[in-house]
A and B are shown apart, each in its own frame.
Chain A
């Protein structure tokens, strides 16, 4: 049995047909499928250990607390954070970014300051910063792109200045699939006195990440894009910064003492985790990390790279396909392939591919400013994960070759 067949067998949904076709799932950038053992970890939690953690002084609640806090330690090790209390559980990367924008941004960005982001940012790492700048009278600046769709080196060098208070950038763009030079950006930003927020939504599931080596001040990701259930996400922040920030959500569990007119907040990480948390989700995340560690990022990266290379080479044989971010002059392409079919709207492409069991994403990918910058109304995106096979790519290409015909256009 080859590796992908072996991995696919671990994912119940990947064995189910879509209409009359076997499912070819190529929307992993949006969310990945879940292996049986992650699903089992979630049901096991609710079957055997469900109680509100941190509260009850009874065995079940202590077990639930253990599961939740062990997930935190596992996450800390997974991205190599220095302390486990630097890991804050949230709903998803979007909530993590909002937490940073509201709590750090609104208290540290002032009139005349600048926030610098990349034009390729997902709305979740763009709209909150727009809001912060509007509220504080600051300016939102953009790193634009090189011809090969990498971040403009010149903008990185020139736009981080002493006015810059925050640089927010994705480690991998969800549309272009290119790895950004975050380490270099962090170095430059720190020299200028700015903090750096790195969106790891499209990197953490696909490559080994070391937040200490990167020296990011904040780092966020979603569980559901890395085999975990939806509704569990992570914010990593450096201890000193998190300690210095006001809480984002307030209520139960995030306090030490509450008086009529005054509250002492709890220490990290509880300060940022108000209310009952998603413990079942944390159990799932923990199981997902175990699974990914077993597969190993060496294999994951190699498989995704091969699939992407193969897909792009096949697509380049079709002269009516336009590709974006697929001609990087650096060796930094991940498993995201964004494209358009000449004269066909992406939604029609997606509908027609769907009729062949091939699931891809179509639209603006929550990156409208990037679409405008690329002068595209919308695009199609195929995104691979380690469980995808060469046969999946072949089926994708076969379906793609039928698109124009369905609409009465010549091949």
Chain B
């Protein structure tokens, strides 16, 4: 296994970034995600208005991979519609499950595409998908309430 293909500069930078790591002032959605294999826990906070994600942040503890993946995800979904965010989460999870993506879909994932190599490391897959799963669950929960 090549460490360089996992701990790339992009991932290492995102893992140390604190840009999105804080509480929101007035979140209207907040969901905990837990990785039972290591006990890591993040809380995703969203401010959703008129079907758009106005603001997003997270708090919690995690490894470099889960923190980077969360930071990249928030970069991507902030300002986007809920539908788009769910679409991206779906793409990301498909990528990690090693499903074929089209070139356009890969492009849509933007920086998150850098996490593709994690799909070759079964022990770390859960770290990469933690925040994306949490995002999916958050919207599923809202859907359930309507």
A-B contact pairs, 7 of them (CB 8 A): A19-B1, A347-B38, A348-B65, A351-B6, A351-B123, A352-B3, A363-B39
B6 with A408: CB separation less than 8 A: no
Interface string of A330-359 (1 = CB under 8 A from B): 000000000000001111100110110000
The stretch of B8-16, B45-53, B79-87, B93-101 that contacts the partner chain: B8-16
Cα distance A363–B40 in the bound complex, in angstroms: 9
B63 at the interface (CB under 8 A from A): yes
Kindly list chain B residues whose C-beta atoms are within 8 Å of the C-beta of A346.
38, 63
Kindly list chain B residues whose C-beta atoms are within 8 Å of the C-beta of A362.
38
Kindly list chain B residues whose C-beta atoms are within 8 Å of the C-beta of A19.
1
Interface string of B30-62 (1 = CB under 8 A from A): 000000011110000000000000000000011
7 residue pairs, one from A and one from B, having the closest CB atoms:
A345-B63, A347-B63, A364-B39, A377-B61, A363-B38, A408-B12, A355-B3
Given A345-B64, A347-B124, A351-B124: A363 and B37 interface contact (C-beta under 8 Å): yes
A contact set with B: CB distance below 8 Å: 19, 344-348, 351-352, 354-355, 362-364, 368, 371, 377-378, 406-408
| Extra pairs beyond A351-B6, A377-B38, A377-B40 (20, CB < 8 Å) | A19-B1, A345-B40, A345-B62, A345-B64, A346-B38, A347-B38, A347-B63, A347-B65, A347-B123, A347-B124, A348-B65, A352-B3, A355-B1, A355-B2, A368-B39, A377-B61, A378-B39, A406-B7, A407-B64, A408-B13
Name the CB-closest residue of A to B67.
Answer: A345
B127 at the interface (CB under 8 A from A): yes
Given A378-B40, A408-B12: A354 and B63 interface contact (C-beta under 8 Å): no
Cα distance A334–B39 in the bound complex, in angstroms: 26
B121 at the interface (CB under 8 A from A): yes
Kindly list chain B residues whose C-beta atoms are within 8 Å of the C-beta of A363.
37-39
Kindly list chain A residues whose C-beta atoms are within 8 Å of the C-beta of B12.
407-408
Name the CB-closest residue of A to B11.
Answer: A407
Cα distance A352–B13 in the bound complex, in angstroms: 17
Chain B interfacial residues counted at CB < 8 A: 25
Majority SS of interface residues in chain A?
A: mixed
Cα distance A371–B39 in the bound complex, in angstroms: 10
Set A351, A364, A368, A377: member contacting B121, Cβ < 8 A? A351
A344 with B39: CB separation less than 8 A: no
B38 with A408: CB separation less than 8 A: no
Cα distance A371–B69 in the bound complex, in angstroms: 25
Kindly list chain A residues whose C-beta atoms are within 8 Å of the C-beta of B66.
345
Kindly list chain A residues whose C-beta atoms are within 8 Å of the C-beta of B15.
407
Expressed in whole angstroms, the minimum distance between the Cβ of A310 and any Cβ of chain B is 27
Cα distance A407–B37 in the bound complex, in angstroms: 22
Kindly list chain A residues whose C-beta atoms are within 8 Å of the C-beta of B9.
408
Expressed in whole angstroms, the minimum distance between the Cβ of B69 and any Cβ of chain A is 13
Given A348-B65, A351-B121, A354-B1: A407 and B40 interface contact (C-beta under 8 Å): no
Cα distance A378–B38 in the bound complex, in angstroms: 7
Cα distance A368–B38 in the bound complex, in angstroms: 9
Kindly list chain B residues whose C-beta atoms are within 8 Å of the C-beta of A344.
64
Kindly list chain A residues whose C-beta atoms are within 8 Å of the C-beta of B7.
348, 352, 406-407
